[in-house]
Amino acid sequence: MSRDRVVVVTGASSGIGEAVAQKLLADGMTVIAVQRSAPRESHPRLVFYPADLSDMAATREAGRRIAERHAVDSLVNNAGANCPALLMDATIDELRYVTDITLGAALLLTQALVPGMKERGFGRIVNISSRAVLGKSARSVYASAKAGLLGLTRTVAIETGAHGITVNAVLPGPVATTHFNRGHPFGSVQRQTVVENILVGRVGEPGDVAHAVGFLLDERSGFITGQSLFVCGGTSITGTGGQ
- DSSP secondary structure of 83-114: --B-GGG--HHHHHHHHIIIIIHHHHHHHHHH
* Catalytic (active site) residue 97: no
C-alpha–C-alpha distance, residues 128 and 125, integer Å = 10
Average pLDDT over residues 53-72: 98
How confident is the model at residue 109, as a pLDDT?
A: 99
Terminal C-alpha separation, the chain: 32
How confident is the model at residue 1, as a pLDDT?
A: 41
Using one digit for the tens of pLDDT, what is the confidence trace for 149-175? 999 999 999 999 999 999 999 999 999
Q: How many domains does the chain have?
A: 1
Has residue 185 been placed in a domain? Answer: no
How confident is the model at residue 198, as a pLDDT?
A: 96
C-alpha–C-alpha distance, residues 209 and 171, integer Å = 9
How confident is the model at residue 22, as a pLDDT?
A: 98
Q: Which amino acid is at 203?
A: V
Has residue 199 been placed in a domain? Answer: no
Using one digit for the tens of pLDDT, what is the confidence trace for 20-54? 999 999 999 999 999 999 999 999 999 999 999 99
pTM: predicted TM-score of the whole model, two decimal places: 0.96
Has residue 64 been placed in a domain? Answer: yes
Has residue 165 been placed in a domain? Answer: yes
Has residue 192 been placed in a domain? Answer: no
Q: Which of 73, 107, 142, 152 is catalytic?
A: 142
Q: In this structure, what are the phi and psi dihedrals at residue 127, rounded to the nearest 5 degrees?
A: -105, 130
> Does residue 140 contact residue 97 with C-beta atoms inside 8 Å?
no
Is residue 235 scored above 60 in pLDDT? yes
Q: Which amino acid is at 75?
A: L
How confident is the model at residue 242, as a pLDDT?
A: 57
122's CB contacts (< 8 A; 6+ apart) are: 3, 73, 164, 165, 219
Has residue 197 been placed in a domain? Answer: no
Q: What is the mean pLDDT of the chain?
A: 96
Has residue 200 been placed in a domain? Answer: no
Is residue 243 scored above 90 in pLDDT? no
Kindly write down the DSSP assignment for every residue of 117-132, as one continuous string: HHHHT-EEEEEE--GG
Has residue 196 been placed in a domain? Answer: no
How confident is the model at residue 179, as a pLDDT?
A: 87
Enclosing domain of residue 95? 6-175+206-238
> Does residue 229 contact residue 212 with C-beta atoms inside 8 Å?
yes
Over the range 114-127, which residues count as b (16 or more CB within 10 Å of their CB) and which as e?
bebbeeeebbbbbb
Using one digit for the tens of pLDDT, what is the confidence trace for 93-144? 999 999 999 999 999 999 999 999 999 999 999 999 999 999 999 999 999 9
- Can you give the CATH number for the domain in which 102 is found? 3.40.50.720
